[in-house]
């Protein structure tokens, strides 16, 4: 009995023809599909649009959230977008992310420059982190030039306004895939 074309002679040897293998997602890709990216925002970001619009722009945090949700959807990501003025709450969310998120995008606001607690939480989370700032922190006051968050971040996006969140989501897709 001759084998059928494309089955490598399987019929001749009494075996079933091989079936094409399905390409399954990697474990990281699966996690990214199941777990959202946490997009966390620190102190005073609830004041976007009204607080120093010449520095931070006129978009509100709700505008930022809507843009981030639209970009995440286009990229096939789910996001969990949150804001707090309280360091302890941000640390709690970062700790929660360890088991509930595929990555963290963080605009820690002024806590960027002061919080070792946030750095420790980010390190313990063992997730990819992208740091975002609306303004270019390196063109501002000297105290803003140091970032504790950067020590745990895979990358930093600053100075591009609200577009920075969308760019962070694009970068995150490569980190969680």
Which residues are known catalytic residues?
56, 133
Contact assessment for residue 31 and residue 40, using Cβ atoms and an 8 Å cutoff: no
Radius of gyration for the alpha carbons in the chain, expressed in angstroms and rounded: 22
Q: State the CB neighbour count (10 A cutoff) for residue 128.
A: 21
- 152 closest CA partner among 176, 117, 100, 102: 117
- 104 closest CA partner among 48, 43, 165, 56: 165
Q: Could you tell me where the beta strands, DSSP code E, fall in 10-127? A: 37-41, 79-83, 103-107
């Amino acid at each position: 009995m001759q084998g059928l074309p494309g089955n490598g002679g399987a019929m001749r040897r009494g075996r079933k023809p091989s079936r094409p293998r399905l390409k399954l997602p990697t474990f990281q890709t699966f996690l990214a599909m199941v777990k959202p990216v946490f997009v966390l925002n620190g102190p005073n970001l609830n004041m976007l649009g009204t607080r120093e619009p010449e520095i931070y722009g006129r978009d509100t945090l709700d505008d930022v959230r809507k843009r981030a949700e639209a970009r995440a959807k286009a990229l096939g990501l789910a996001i969990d977008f949150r804001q707090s003025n309280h360091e302890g709450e941000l640390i709690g969310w970062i700790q929660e992310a360890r088991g509930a998120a595929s990555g963290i995008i963080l605009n820690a606001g002024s806590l960027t420059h002061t919080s070792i607690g946030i750095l420790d939480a980010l390190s313990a989370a063992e997730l990819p982190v992208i740091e975002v700032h609306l303004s270019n922190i390196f063109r501002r006051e000297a105290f803003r030039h140091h970032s504790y968050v950067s020590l745990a971040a895979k990358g930093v996006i600053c100075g591009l306004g609200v577009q920075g969140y969308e760019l962070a989501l694009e970068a995150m897709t490569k980190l969680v895939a």
